[in-house]
Amino acid sequence: MSARTFSLADRIIGEIDRAIKVLWCPARSFRSAPAALSDELTLDTPSRLESSRLMRVNHAGEVAAQALYQGQALTAQDSTVADAMRQAAAEEMDHLAWCEQRLKELHGRTSLLNPVWYAGSFAIGALAGILGDRTSLGFIAETERQVESHLRDHIERLPAADRRSRAIVEQMTHDEVRHGATAASLGGKELPFPLRRAMRLTSRLMTRGSYWL
């Protein structure tokens, strides 16, 4: 039996379905969330609010990561690269589910701007893929370096009593480092400084917007 060939319409419908699942359906993880609830100390109201805001930012980042990887997989020229993107997206889904679960535990909410982050990140990912696999992989490697820095900052900023959120963010950091190393090993090239600078500014905009909204 020959493999099915998907038309452009099929692929568009598939991407719309993925977007709906990421933005409006409960995320499901394959791995258990790090740390147990029993490991957590009682949080006072200011600490809970700060943790909730920081985890909302992390959740928004994972929404953007899903879109970025899907956009790149859609336009990747090499099937090996496309498969690596989809595998990374599947692992990032754990992060999305963990952040979503933690937000519920903190009585927080996800960012109202998530549809904006998803659409923008998907477009950027698709464009990176069109520019070539080495550029696309380099974009992933640089993105993961910046995400790692951002997550380490959050580990420092999370309230000391919030051990559960810290454990989640630490595991996310470990995974992001591995994803960046994988992208580099597959041939990702270093991006020019102006582009890296633009990526940092865009990340800062998303971080600040998601913290409050």
pLDDT at 39: 54
Q: Just give the CATH number of 45-212.
A: 1.20.1260.10
Element (H, E) at 193: helix 193-212
Domain boundaries, the chain: 45-212
Look at residues 36, 16, 75, 64 and name the one whose alpha carbon lies nearest to residue 176.
64
Look at residues 149, 167, 148, 171 and name the one whose alpha carbon lies nearest to residue 158.
167
- Cβ burial of 47 (10 Å; 0-12, 13-18, 19+) is middle
pLDDT at 33: 81
Average pLDDT, 10 consecutive residues per value, the chain (213 residues): 60 78 80 67 88 95 87 80 77 90 94 93 85 84 88 93 92 90 82 80 88 92
Q: Position 193: which residue type?
A: F
Q: What is the pTM of this model?
A: 0.88
pLDDT at 154: 93
